[in-house]
């Protein structure tokens, strides 16, 4: 697995000293992700250099840097862990409780009047509580990132990250809910037991095939938005990227042959949305033969990795298997999205070197572009469920905001999320539920 390795290196403040350090890194075959000067004093500069390295990478790199006459390796930064220390989210009051009058209004005795109003008209909860801004982010930890079944507690940093993104990008409160249960029917009942606390439900990192059953049953029983982000959030952003890629190479997405390698939650979600969008021929490959049954119900055609690489104009991979796509199998002009995190099936730069027209990985084609605006728009419209029209509207809004030759826009641009919110809202309002 590739991890961000953050080196702390001190150099003498003279021409060429930093360049020598960077040359040692280049000689090791590593790419610098980020470089910043932390401080400069007494003729020396402290640099923070972020690399992507394999966990088993040759640690002699540190010694080679330290051997330079104008540099000193000081160690590793714990920046990643430091940013997680104490958690990434917290609950805050929306108004200051600084007088007895305010206390009596927001708590006892004043709050009783609001409780009775909600008892008489449950819709009042959307106006007088935070219900309409609150999303449950629920996981049982069976499919965390590309790490697999590591358990719900180990997945909590991911859930907190989702919550932090909801808050910073669209002003929603995401509440992580961890479940140790693995039986899909029991999970559904547990969610039904707590659903009144939330305006919407985001299912996160549930493994296939249980994820399909859980979402389907909750959508049937609940009159509020339910979304399994690994399926539909990923599919929305993948569709957005393909809309731009196909347009820029002058190709019709509808008539292109699309190959989906990996038919888990993300893969089948992508197949489903592409078919709904009108893509006529979608091939699918997976090492689990039972996945082909669900592929067939979506109108996809069973194939193999080799068959897809030989026939498909567009290749999407969501397998979690690093290096699965061999460079020699890439055909000139193909569009390749290798979306597994943290390591893609093929590095984009390698695919481009082999002649791919466009290539991207999961760092760029990331569902953070989709899920915040999807939920904000659906909840603003008080939609009882997500529809394909809402998902496709989100994809078009994302695609329209991509600058230049980029396939997708900056995921931290709040204007992008506002555009997605508005598109989803309008699609929801136009839908006759």
Provide the CATH number for the domain around residue 286: 3.40.50.720
Which of residues 231, 264, 297 is at a domain's end? Answer: 231
pLDDT at 2: 65
Closest by Cα among 358, 329, 365 to 251: 358
Task: Note whether 79 and 179 are same-domain residues.
Answer: no
Question: For residues 290 and 268, is the Cβ–Cβ distance under 8 A?
Answer: no
Is 359 within the bounds of a domain? yes
Query: Which ranges of the chain have pLDDT less than 70?
Result: 1-3, 55-58, 78
Alpha carbons 171 and 92: distance in angstroms, whole number: 13
Q: Which of 72, 88, 107, 128 is catalytic?
A: 107
pLDDT at 391: 98
- 279-323: pLDDT as tens digits: 999 999 999 989 999 999 999 999 999 999 999 999 999 998 989
pLDDT at 393: 98
Is 91 within the bounds of a domain? no
pLDDT at 42: 83
pLDDT at 1: 60
Closest by Cα among 320, 326, 269, 328 to 295: 269
pLDDT at 82: 79
Task: Note whether 385 and 282 are same-domain residues.
Answer: no
pLDDT at 58: 65
Is 92 within the bounds of a domain? no
pLDDT at 56: 60
- Give the domain extent around 285: 233-367
Task: Note whether 24 and 42 are same-domain residues.
Answer: yes
107 counts as catalytic: yes
Question: For residues 374 and 236, is the Cβ–Cβ distance under 8 A?
Answer: yes
Is 63 within the bounds of a domain? yes
- 39-91: pLDDT as tens digits: 888 889 999 999 877 756 667 888 899 999 999 999 877 677 878 888 998 88
pLDDT at 83: 84
Task: Note whether 112 and 201 are same-domain residues.
Answer: yes
Question: Which CATH number belongs to the domain containing residue 51 in this structure?
Answer: 3.30.70.260
Task: Note whether 281 and 359 are same-domain residues.
Answer: yes
Q: Which of 2, 72, 162, 182 is catalytic?
A: 162
Is 249 within the bounds of a domain? yes
Our CA dihedral for 329, 330, 332, 334, rounded to 10 degrees, sits at 130
Beta strand spans in 55-196 (E)? 71-76, 134-139, 173-178
Within 8 A by CB and 6+ apart from 354, the residues are 327, 328, 330, 332
pLDDT at 60: 83
Task: Note whether 155 and 66 are same-domain residues.
Answer: no
62 counts as catalytic: no
Domains of the chain: total: 4
């Amino acid at each position: 697995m590739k991890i961000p390795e953050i080196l702390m290196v001190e150099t003498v403040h003279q021409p060429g000293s930093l360049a020598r350090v960077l040359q040692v890194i280049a000689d090791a075959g590593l790419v610098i992700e980020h470089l910043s000067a932390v401080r400069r004093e007494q003729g020396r500069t402290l640099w923070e250099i972020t690399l992507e390295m394999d966990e088993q990478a040759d640690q002699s790199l540190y010694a080679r840097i330290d051997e330079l006459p104008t540099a000193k390796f000081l160690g590793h930064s714990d920046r990643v862990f430091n940013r997680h220390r104490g958690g990434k989210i917290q609950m805050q009051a929306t108004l200051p409780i600084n007088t007895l009058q305010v206390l009596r209004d927001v708590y006892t005795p004043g709050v009783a009047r609001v409780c009775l109003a909600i008892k008489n008209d449950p819709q009042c909860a959307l106006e007088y509580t935070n219900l309409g801004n609150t999303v449950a982010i629920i996981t049982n930890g069976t499919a965390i990132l590309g790490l697999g079944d590591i358990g719900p507690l180990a997945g909590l940093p991911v859930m907190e990250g989702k919550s932090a993104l909801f808050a910073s990008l669209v002003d929603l409160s995401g509440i992580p809910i961890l479940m140790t249960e693995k039986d899909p029917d029991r999970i559904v009942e547990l969610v039904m037991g707590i659903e009144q606390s939330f305006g919407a439900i985001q299912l996160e990192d549930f493994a296939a095939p249980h994820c399909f059953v859980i979402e389907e049953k909750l959508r049937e029983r609940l009159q509020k938005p339910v979304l399994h982000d690994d399926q539909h959030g990923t599919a929305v952003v993948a569709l957005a990227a393909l809309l731009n890629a196909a347009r820029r190479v002058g190709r019709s997405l509808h008539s292109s042959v699309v190959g989906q390698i990996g038919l888990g939650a993300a893969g089948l979600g992508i197949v489903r949305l592409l078919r709904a969008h009108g893509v006529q021929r979608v091939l699918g490959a997976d090492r689990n033969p039972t996945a082909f049954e669900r592929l067939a119900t979506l109108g996809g055609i069973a194939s193999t990795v080799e068959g897809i690489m030989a026939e498909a104009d567009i290749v999407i991979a969501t397998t979690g298997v690093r290096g699965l796509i061999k460079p020699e199998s890439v055909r000139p002009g193909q569009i390749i999205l290798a979306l597994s995190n943290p390591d893609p099936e093929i590095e984009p730069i390698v695919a481009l070197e082999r002649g791919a027209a466009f290539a991207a990985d999961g760092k760029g084609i990331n569902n953070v572009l989709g899920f915040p605006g999807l939920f904000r728009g659906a909840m603003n419209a008080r939609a009882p469920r997500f529809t394909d029209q809402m998902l496709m509207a989100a994809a078009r809004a994302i695609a329209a905001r991509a600058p230049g030759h980029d396939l997708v826009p900056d995921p931290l641009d709040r204007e992008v999320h506002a555009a997605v919110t508005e598109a989803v809202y309008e699609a929801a309002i136009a839908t006759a539920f």
